[in-house]
Amino acid sequence: MTAIKKIGIIGAGQMGNGIAHVCAAAGFDVILLDINEEALKKGLGTITKNLDRALAKGKLTEADKAATLGRIKPTTAYADFSDSDLVIEAATEDEKIKRAIFAQLCPVLKPEAHIASNTSSLSITRLGAATDRPAKFMGMHFMNPVPVMQLVELIRGIATSEETFSLVREMTLKLGKKPVSAEDFPAFIVNRILLPMINEAVYTLYEGVGSVTCIDTAMKLGANHPMGPLELADFIGLDTCLAVMQVLHDGLADTKYRPCPLLVKYVEAGWLGRKTGRGFYDYTGETPVPTR
């Protein structure tokens, strides 16, 4: 069983740049791919900013920062994954997009290379079947923000080999993360529990039971949550929240998972949360202001 040494990451966005950060910090060589130079520049800028924050807190040295950044090679070419031992796909939560990525990725990989998807809800078995190596494919769901959150959900598809699972679990431990094994059911463990709660908070707002501020304050002070559910939804991205609820609704065929119409309306309006500057809060000013 060959150890993982070189890691490819597809997507330099919110999740991808975080995964690249922790992999490089743990000593792995990283190839970070996105569709254009602008996206890569933005992703590397986020990594640098997060490293600077850790530097200011005394958690690392200038040498550590330089070494971490030096291990990350940005690219727009799939061919650069040719010698990767593991490629982690961290694209948007859209199955068609992920399938299109795998169609470009698989032909350039060496036969022994493994693939993981950072999907937060989609079937690992179905995604694996879209590749040329379902036995070497599995789910590796990091939590956001990746450099801070310890948990990684590891999900086997029906075809995932024990060798693949063991290799990826060992690599996860080297990142300083805590792996938990989840079965290949819609949304796995965390989002199976978390997203229906967020969806119910949106229903509570939709039905006028409480305002944005009251709902978030109630859950922070009444349930001791560090963030209110609507604040958390904005942080995750309302499009991602909706996508997970749709997967739950379609996959489990239970009306309790029906996405709230208000959540649908916000996504249709392009109000996706922090990343667009507006969601359940408006982020254009110095402090977030509730939109309802």
Q: Please, what is the average pLDDT of the chain?
A: 97
Active site residues per annotation? 120, 141, 153, 191
User: pLDDT above 90 covers what percent of the chain?
Assistant: 98
Q: What is the pLDDT of residues 160-182, one digit of tens each?
A: 999 999 999 999 999 999 999 99
Whether pLDDT at 62 is above 90: yes
Rounded to an integer, the average pLDDT of 137-150 is: 96
Q: What is the pLDDT of residues 77-112, one digit of tens each?
A: 999 999 999 999 999 989 999 999 999 999 999 999
Instruction: Please name which of 140, 97, 156 lies closest in space to residue 4, comparing C-alpha atoms.
Output: 140
Rounded CA gap, 27 and 64, in Å? Answer: 10
Q: What is the pLDDT of residues 167-223, one digit of tens each?
A: 999 999 999 999 999 999 999 999 999 999 999 999 999 999 999 999 999 999 999
Rounded CA gap, 19 and 14, in Å? Answer: 9
**Phi, psi torsion values for 117, nearest 5 degrees:** -115, 135
Instruction: Please name which of 283, 207, 189 lies closest in space to residue 244, comparing C-alpha atoms.
Output: 189
CB atoms within 10 A of CB 239: 21
Rounded to an integer, the average pLDDT of 271-282 is: 97
Q: What is the pLDDT of residues 1-17, one digit of tens each?
A: 578 999 999 999 999 99
pLDDT at 1: 56
Rounded CA gap, 225 and 173, in Å? Answer: 27
